[in-house]
Amino acid sequence: MSLFPQSERRQLELFSCNPTPAGIRDYQDLMAFPFFSLAKGRRIKPLLYDRDGVIIKVEAVPEYGMATIWDADMLIWAASQIMDARNRGEPTSRLLRFMPHQFLRFANRPTGKLGYERLRAALDRLQSTTIQTSIRSDDLNLNPVRKSKRLHRFSWINEWSELIVNGGYSRGMEIVLPDWFYQGVINENWVLAIDPAYFDLTGGIERWLYRLARKHGGRSEHGWGFSFKVLYEKSGSLARFSNFAIDLRRLAKNQSLPGYNLSLTTDLRGNECLNVTRIAF
């Protein structure tokens, strides 16, 4: 029996999370495209991306602001739980129940009062942020000449609840994931393992760049490279391009990404580029 009032939960089987899932998993589409604010301050301006047939529009409400790349840790937690259960042959669901301190430890966050408050704020942003995208929405019944695409619209979390008992103690949380995210995660070809050191990265661009590197470079010894201009477009950052470029140069100088080596080059057109290669072990 659920601890919380019934709504969409009535149609879903409850999935109780494992306190310590085996491995950390991330969803490739969230790694490759701009879906989150990279700033710690509140972002209200919509995020718009339209490149190579991929359309993304992310909108926020003023009260909460846009979901950030730190808030996305909750989706990494969810993907890790789902894949852990699948690997053990257990059933999964879009309805997840967990204890807050389990997530906070997983994401290497403080487990005191401030950690709980920040988690609740993150869930509010994830629930109130809306996404519209053409990713995974090709429909064979649409007109092939016009190359039409069907746009999916959803929030990162359909709803969330917390049971708080006398004294202000949390007895657990439940979240309902959107079907778009859940269907992507249960296809194991669209999920990648990430380094636990990812949670130690404090900068938004650092976190975004690591996920992009992991998606594109994987474990290839040759790695990959993009011009600063393409990276700027793929990031969805609100920073000025000049400041974004300064951040990339700083990351390359400090070698900030766990497991990857960063180097700066120039292409034939004179554009500054960032090359990323996997560090051999």
Q: Please list the pLDDT of the chain residue by residue as tens digits (281 residues).
A: 455 555 666 668 888 888 888 899 999 999 999 999 999 999 999 999 999 889 999 999 999 999 999 999 999 999 999 999 998 999 999 999 999 999 999 999 999 999 999 999 999 999 999 999 999 765 434 444 445 667 899 999 999 999 888 877 888 899 999 999 999 999 878 899 999 999 999 999 999 999 999 998 755 667 788 999 999 999 999 999 999 999 999 999 999 899 999 999 998 888 999 999 988 65
pLDDT at 10: 65
Task: Compute the half-sphere exposure of residue 162: CA atoms within 13 Å on the CB side of its CA.
Answer: 15
- Six-digit token string for 48: 């718009």
Give the 3-state secondary structure percentages of the chain, helix then strand then coil, rounded to 5. Answer: 35, 25, 40
Beta bridge partners of 37: 68
pLDDT at 165: 85
pLDDT at 128: 98
Distance of CA 188 to the CA centre of its chain: 16
Written as one letter, the residue type at 73 is D
Q: Distance of CA 156 to CAs 73, 187, 250, Å?
A: 12, 18, 31
Alpha-carbon torsion (240, 205, 225, 25), positive or negative:
negative
Query: Contact 73/270 with Cβ under 8 angstroms?
Result: no
Alpha-carbon torsion (181, 187, 192, 196), positive or negative:
positive
Q: What is residue 97's three-state secondary structure?
A: strand
Beta bridge partners of 133: 56, 152
Domains of the chain: 1-194 (no CATH), 202-281 (1.10.10)
Separation CA 136–CA 178 (nearest Å) = 14
Query: Contact 265/206 with Cβ under 8 angstroms?
Result: no
